[in-house]
Chain A
Amino acid sequence: MNHIISVLVENKAGVLAKISSLFSRRGFNIESLAVGPTENDEISRITIVVNAEKHGIEQVVKQLYKLINVIKIQELDPLNIVERELVLIKVSTDSKTRAEVLEIVNIFRANIVDVGKKSLLVEITGTRSKVNALEEMLRPYGILELVRTGKIACSRGSKS
């Protein structure tokens, strides 16, 4: 099962390496990982999606807490969060298919952010399932390149 773990860390050199190596050392495979500074620039947030069973996750969270630069860890409840991922998809198009692709992009409320002679660059933000659905729709036209940010998430309501 996929778990979303949100980790607040001190914004110092080497912290990300320590965290990611802890996952691999304990035998966990990271599905996605997103890092960036928070409202406080001495603190960064790392959002990690990892596939594991419950006991394994509890163990890894406890081990993460032992890292000196880790300040706080939340395992986000998938039913009570807003999760987003930004994906850039470069689709191959020609004069015949361009209109169809544009229509699909509109339906998904995605954006065209670059136009090439033989391609369109599509930007979409959303949940993984929405992104995956768009990817499936565009696949028949030929996906030249696909880049994703990795998932970020925030719990709903005022509590942080």
Chain B
Amino acid sequence: MSKITGAQMLLKCLEKEGVDVIFGYPGGVMIPIYDAIFDGNLRHILVRHEQCAAHAADGYARATGKTGVCMATSGPGGTNLVTGIANAYMDSIPMVAITGQVATGVIGTDAFQEADITGITSPITKHNYLVKSIEELPVVVKEAFYIASTGRPGPVLVDIPVDVLKSLIDKNTKVEVKLNGYKPTYKGNLRQIKQAAKKIFSSKKPVIFAGGGIISSGASSILTEFAKKANLPVITTLLGKGCFPENDELSLRIAGMHGTKYANLAFTETDLIIAVGVRFDDRVTGKLSEFAPEAEVIHIDIDPAEIGKNIKTNIPIVGDAKSVLKDLSNEYEKIISSKGNTDRSEWLGRLKGLKQKYPLKYDRDSKKLKPAYIVEKIYEVTKGDAIICTEVGQNQMWAAQFYKSSQPRTFISSGGLGTMGFGLPASIGAKVGRPDKTVIDIAGDGSIQMVSQELATAVTGKVPIKIMLLNNGYLGMVRQWQELFYNRRYSETCIKNCVDFVKLVEAYGGVGLRVKEKRDVEGAIKKALEINNLVLVDFWIEMEENVFPMVAPGAPINKMLEDNK
């Protein structure tokens, strides 16, 4: 019988789960693991702050569909992960977070660098474990990956005391997983699905409302097929962006606070919402009591707790988006092959009219440097084929509005938690997972400063991401609210000239470019993409540009504020 340490066993288990990279940061109790990494083949990306290990694992997972793995030491290492874990939890991203813990014998004594990380993360993980003995370790790791990646995905934390990492275990220990309380429903109820198909067939003004669930279940192509077959217009959430090609005729793009006016109006007029993998977040629905007043709702989701949580549902279907949409498409096919397809030309015509009347717009003729212009140029230069990550704020909304995504897993943004500083580490993770792709972080000057130390990770880890910094000198989204709702009292939101971003990125060994003129935008983007290194382009955009249209917080979504400057 050959014995290995807990740390070696952990790596062996990770390899068995198909893990090819870990984002992490060492510390005292983690040395056994790092010692094992020293000899092994597992790639490790050393971040500069643990929060970014979690965000990078998150970005990796979003870009690849695989479970992202991050790692941190006990105490402050674990607590630094918290924001990243919460972010993944809110957006249902499969992630396994591994933390070191003080030795089992001193747990509960406030030992040096002890923190109750399973207690702390219990509300922000799908599940978590404290591994109390070496025998449990392989079972726990297997369960953790299974739970993180199945059903409604989410982060799982595994906390491992240092003595467990050091103790010995038989290399070929058999692993038996027993999860009595966990059986996600994949197949939808066929009776409900038949009813849904009938309802869709007879609806005059239906819309599909598609969210992140489509992307996590890999249902984009069946969604697209079904929408085309049944002539259904498609609205997505921010997280659903890319699950249906946004340049398709049937796409109404994204709805909500900064969604398109035509999507919001479509919600107001529709008689049937076919919601798939969405949770009717308040940023989408606006004032709930006035949301979609005419509509009946078919709600398809793998998480029964989401159905009926925020809005009344007429036909609930619990199941995996891909499986249910397949069945639904089949049932629909049966109906139309006997009765012929429904004529939706009136509704589609109406929507086409709204699209023409209320396009997303900005002052194209302006001589000034407009962020929307920059995003459009990024779209043109990359031919819509890049993976776009965003920070949070105006930059995120401009990116969502003006970069049309046509593939799933190519638009990566912090939705539920709205975490500033997500984009840079997430783009590092995405690029590590998809080295074949151009990966761009469309950033804000405030957000990037929350994580700017990760410029080092990109350079030393050889992860040549491109940062397109929409530098407005403000915490722009907050400033916009102050302008609109607080009488232009810009309290603590001006951050201009606080750092020279070009010098900053150069200090880390990356390349910095600065653009102040509209005519230089395209050239700078092209140049950035040609350089095989981290590049940051510092675009000095018009400082008080706003994101429009906009639904004021708490207002109904059909009442949108427009640009009247």
Give A contacts to B, CB under 8 Å: 9-10, 13-14, 17-18, 21-22, 25, 58-59, 62-63, 65-71
Contact = CB atoms under 8 A, between A and B. Distances in A.
17 contacts: A13-B130, A13-B132, A14-B119, A14-B122, A14-B130, A17-B122, A18-B122, A21-B123, A58-B308, A59-B309, A62-B305, A65-B305, A67-B127, A67-B181, A68-B126, A68-B179, A70-B181
Contacts of A9: 181
Nearest to A64: B305
B304 A62 contact: yes
Nearest to B184: A66
Nearest to A55: B308
Given A13-B132, A65-B304, A66-B305, 6 more contacts: A10-B180, A10-B181, A14-B122, A17-B119, A59-B305, A71-B180
Interface string B303-316: 11100110000000
Contacts, number: 39
A9 B180 CA distance: 9
Given A13-B130, A68-B127, A63 B305 contact: yes
A58 B303 CA distance: 14
A72 B122 CA distance: 20
User: Nearest 5 pairs between A and B by C-beta?
Assistant: A62-B305, A68-B127, A71-B181, A70-B181, A68-B182
A67 B126 CA distance: 8
Contacts of B122: 14, 17-18, 21
A66 B303 contact: yes
Interface string B124-142: 0011001010000000000
B96 interface: no
Contacts of B180: 10, 71
A25 B126 contact: no
Contacts of A58: 308
Q: Most chain-A Cβ atoms within 10 A of its Cβ — which of B118, B119, B122?
A: B122
A10 B181 CA distance: 8
B275 interface: no
B448 interface: no
Contacts of A65: 304-305
A123 B229 CA distance: 71
Nearest to A67: B181
Contacts of B126: 66, 68
Contacts of A25: 123
A13 B123 CA distance: 16
Interface in B417-449: none
B86 interface: no
Contacts of B132: 13
A71 B182 CA distance: 8
B147 interface: yes
Contacts of B303: 66
A22 B123 CA distance: 7
Contacts of A70: 181
A63 B308 CA distance: 12
A68 B155 CA distance: 13
B252 to A, nearest CB: 30
Nearest to A12: B129
A3 B305 CA distance: 19
B142 to A, nearest CB: 13
A70 B126 CA distance: 13
Nearest to B308: A58
A13 B108 CA distance: 14
B281 to A, nearest CB: 16
Interface in B174-222: 179-182
Contacts of A62: 304-305
Given A14-B130, A58-B308, A62-B304, A68 B181 contact: yes
Interface string B238-280: 0000000000000000000000000000000000000000000
Given A68-B126, A68-B147, A14 B181 contact: no
